[in-house]
Amino acid sequence: MTAPSDLGTARPASPDLLRSVFRRHAAGVAVITARGSRGPVGFTATSLASVSAEPPMLSFGVGTGGSSWPVIATSDHVGVHVLGEHQQALAATFARSGADRFGPATAWQDGPEGVPVLDDVPAWMVCKVVARVPAGDHRIVVAEVLLGDPTGHGRPLLYHQGRFNGLRD
């Protein structure tokens, strides 16, 4: 096992340390959607993870201070959309506070269980929420996949060093 080059540069745990380390971690980009009483909500997530194959389950983190949280906190179902590198603008829209996320620039339709399903994504799923686990200022949402479509086109969109990027060949 190789030791880090200089342990003298180690810093104590802090939000800044966590953000700095995770800027170096490339993550896939997804948009999570749900239907609220006042209409659809959604947000960009880089915390999407596969949890279980049998039954098929996934998880994602959501900030409790975000505008989508009140709906996610009570929704039985969510939509999970894997974004392609052609969707950097869509990822930015769903990440921006106060943006009109479901405005004319966003192509979407009502999907199963009333969940908003985004058009032209490489893959999407509709999931039933089974748990919301407290985790600091976030909740980890665990959801069982009910149905989806993995046949869309496009290479994956990644988030790295604070920017949306495509894969390099």
**CATH code assigned at 35:** 2.30.110.10
In a domain, 113, yes or no: yes
CB-based contacts of 82, cutoff 8 Å, min separation 6: 28, 29, 30, 48, 121, 122, 123, 124, 156
Nearest CA among 123, 167, 160, 165 for reference residue 145: 123
In a domain, 3, yes or no: no
Q: Are 128 and 146 in contact (CB under 8 A)?
A: yes
| Count of structural domains within the chain | 1
In a domain, 12, yes or no: no
Per-residue pLDDT of 43-82, as tens digits, reads 999 999 999 999 999 999 999 999 999 999 999 999 999 9
Distance CA 12, CA 103 (A): 43
In a domain, 134, yes or no: yes
In a domain, 145, yes or no: yes
In a domain, 124, yes or no: yes
What pLDDT is attached to residue 123?
98
Per-residue pLDDT of 155-166, as tens digits, reads 999 999 999 998
In a domain, 21, yes or no: no
Answer yes or no: pTM beyond 0.75. yes
State the residue range of the domain holding 92. Answer: 26-154
